[in-house]
Structure 1
Amino acid sequence: MDDVLARIPLDAIRVFETTARLNSFTRAAEALGMTQAAVSWRIRDLEQRLGVPLFLRETRQVSLTSEGQRLSSAAREALGLLRRAAHDVMQQDQTVLGITTLQTMATQWLATRLGLFQLANPDLAVKVDVDNALSDFSGPGMDVGLRFGSGQWAGLESRFLIPALFTPLCSPELQAQLNIKSPADLKSAPLVGLPQEWAAWFAHIGLADDRNPPPPRVVSENQAMEVATAIAGQGVALGNPVFYAREIANGQLVRLFDESVSLGGGYWLSYPKERRSVPKIARFRDWVLEMARTDPANIEACRASGMKVGTLG
């Protein structure tokens, strides 16, 4: 095995992994700053060294062979480990914690608490990146993620934080104007949000047989935007009562009914498994789990959903 590895240059693996990931010699050449001919030569040389074809070459496209697929998976993981190890070496002082998260969670939950973490950890600077894409943490800068989903992400360890529960919210002025007293009243109310989410909520409360609800007047995949529309009195939005507990308490929003519907998944803290013991990650993990455990609104939501803060994904 050692003799085989000695015959394979690391740079050839890097070229192969990029080509396999982009599924194109041309795009790999652009990404690596090489010519297409150089990329093709490196792949041919690697195939000769291994004694197996790695790509099927067809007109205007390439695809991985079964051997190529096996090597691609291993190469991606190995190069990811090398990138993270190199990043850790360059960041040995551990003075910056990079957090990637969703907009709604960042503005409605994390931002109001993050100052407490910084007070308790004055030696750490915090960098927050708001991005809807799930990071694989292979690049520099990001250490932990606060994400929505199942908690099952390859290579990541995930800890449960907040249930994905949604309930109708609106301004007190709109509630009074429309005289909303029962869930059936929402059938004629201006709704904000994705039709399938409203359909799930109506089904949850037993109104699924009414097949003529008005379509939502504002459709968005951004919860923060939807609830902002509700605060402005322009409609009824489905929002997570944990994220909007403050606005409900101060009267900006009215939680119309006790019923909440789970739309699947939840909000999780995630980080690479092999970095679980990195001090800055461990400190943030312990802190954010304690914040979730002691949040009154989240305690109620977890009780309703049957989920427990800190559960491994």
Structure 2
Amino acid sequence: MRHIPPLAAVRVFEAAARHENFTTAAVELGMTQAAVSYQVKLLEERLGVPLFRRERRRVVLTDAGRRASAQVTRAFDALDSAFAAIRTEDAGLLTISTSNTFANTWLAWRLGGFQMAQPEVAVRLLTSDALVDFASDDVDVAIRAGRGGWEGLHQEQLLPIDFTPMCSPDFLSRHGGAITLDDLAHLPLISPHDPWWPHWLAEAGVAVPPGPPRGGIRLDSQAHEGHAAMAGQGVAMLTPYFWRNDLAEGRLVQLFDQLSTRGYGYWLVYPEHRRTVAKIRRFRDWLIAELAKDSFPATVVVR
């Protein structure tokens, strides 16, 4: 069992001994001169020997203080080296967690730009629709869908989630070149179990029959649903922002003007205590700037 004095007092002693000046040590440690003197006195009382001689306008190490000082300084140097390796390793790798949809429709297309701008930082992207647990998972930041309100996390809303039915031009052509609201009751829908479907239909004034959802292709992310729609497999409920290039280039068609939302958005989140970490700040700034390039207002709502 180790018999180590209070580390706060040992840390103060190391700085005071190194400078042989309580005032200079106080500046280094962000303390008052009186607080430094108090901590040294506590340590001396704990050890039962004086560590400094108080002379006029200065302090001088005693023989016991000088012997302890050399060893304590080496111990603090060893601690600094041990944690420096961890700090260097952490600063050199940014791990991002996000949903399959956000990764496949937006982030993976642009993340190389962040890597080029920050060549000293390696980037690892993890995709999952499950919420990351910052306490147990090796993740720095996450981009997640929801309504916010995650306790203990710094949160910035990046963009709202809205949705509307889309299909491929070929699918539209095969069904007469026009699709009405009434037609949706008979056409193949992609992921008809998705709660976005009844929500959008109800807002459009379409009666949604009670009971289980219709049969159809069931996919686990909007990224897969959009590609299934482009392949002509049916009508998918999609977020226009994620598919704006496919809409512009004619791979998808938005069937109706109506956009619906359930109050969800995409959020950048990370632990509150890591707000000042440089690699996280740089990624956050890059992300906001990239969203702005899309002429989409990145609504930064901090909670």
Instruction: Provide the TM-score with structure 1 as the length reference.
Output: 0.64
Q: How many residues align?
A: 220
CA distance in 1, matches of 2:127, 2:221: 13
Cα 1:253–1:290 change in 2 (3 A) is: same
Task: Report if aligned partners of 2:201, 2:208 keep a CA contact under 8 Å in 1.
Answer: no
CA distance in 2, matches of 1:104, 1:293: 19
3-state SS, counterpart of residue 238 of structure 1: strand
Q: Which residue of 2 aligns with 1:187?
A: 185
SS at match of 2:282: helix
Residue 76 of structure 1 aligns with which residue? none
Matches within 5 A, 1:137-148: 137-139=134-136, 141-148=138-145
Identify the residue that residue 132 of structure 2 maps to in structure 1: 135
**Tell me, what secondary structure is at the counterpart of 2:142?**
strand
What is the CA–CA distance in structure 1 between the aligned matches of 2:137 and 2:92, rounded to whole Å?
Answer: 14
Q: Equivalent residue of 2:240, what SS?
A: coil
TM-superposed CA distance for 1:252, in Å, is: 1.2
- Name the CA distance, whole Å, in 2 between partners of 1:211 and 1:120: 53
Runs of 4+ in 1 over 6 A off after TM superposition: 86-89, 209-214
Q: Of 141, 147, 152, which residue of structure 1 is paired with 2:149?
A: 152
Pairs within 5 Å for 1:1-313: 90-93=86-89, 94-139=91-136, 141-179=138-176, 180-193=178-191, 194-208=193-207, 215-296=214-295, 298-299=296-297, 309-313=299-303
Structure 2, unpaired ranges of 5+ = 1-5, 7-81
Moved more, 161-170 or 182-191: 182-191
Unpaired segments of 5 or more residues in structure 1? 1-5, 7-85, 300-307
Equivalent position amino acid for 2:88 in 1: Q
Per the TM alignment, residue 182 of structure 1 is displaced from its structure 2 partner at its CA by 2.7
| Preserved CA contact (<8 Å) 1:292 1:309 | no
Cα distance change, pair 152–212 in 1 and its aligned pair in 2 (3 A): closer
Identity of aligned residues (%): 39
Give the greater-gyration-radius structure (CA): 2
Cα offset, 1:92, TM superposition: 3.0
**How far 1:277 moved relative to its partner?**
0.7
Does the residue aligned with 1:137 lie in a helix, a strand or coil?
coil
CA distance in 2, matches of 1:212, 1:141: 42
Letter in 1 for 2:302: L
CA distance in 2, matches of 1:175, 1:213: 27
Distance 1:151 1:100, change over 3 A: same
CA distance in 1, matches of 2:131, 2:293: 27
Contact 1:187–1:214 (8 Å) recurs in 2: no
RMSD of equivalent CA atoms: 2.5
**Mapped partners of 1:105, 1:226: distance in 2:** 13
Per the alignment, do residues 185 and 195 of structure 1 end up closer, same or farther by CA in structure 2, a change over 3 Å counting? same
SS at match of 2:159: strand
1:89 Cα deviation after fit: 6.9
Q: Distance in 1 between matches of 2:194 and 2:171?
A: 20
Alpha-carbon distance, 1:213 to partner: 11
- Matched residue SS, 1:100: strand
Q: What's the TM-score once normalised by structure 2's chain length? A: 0.66
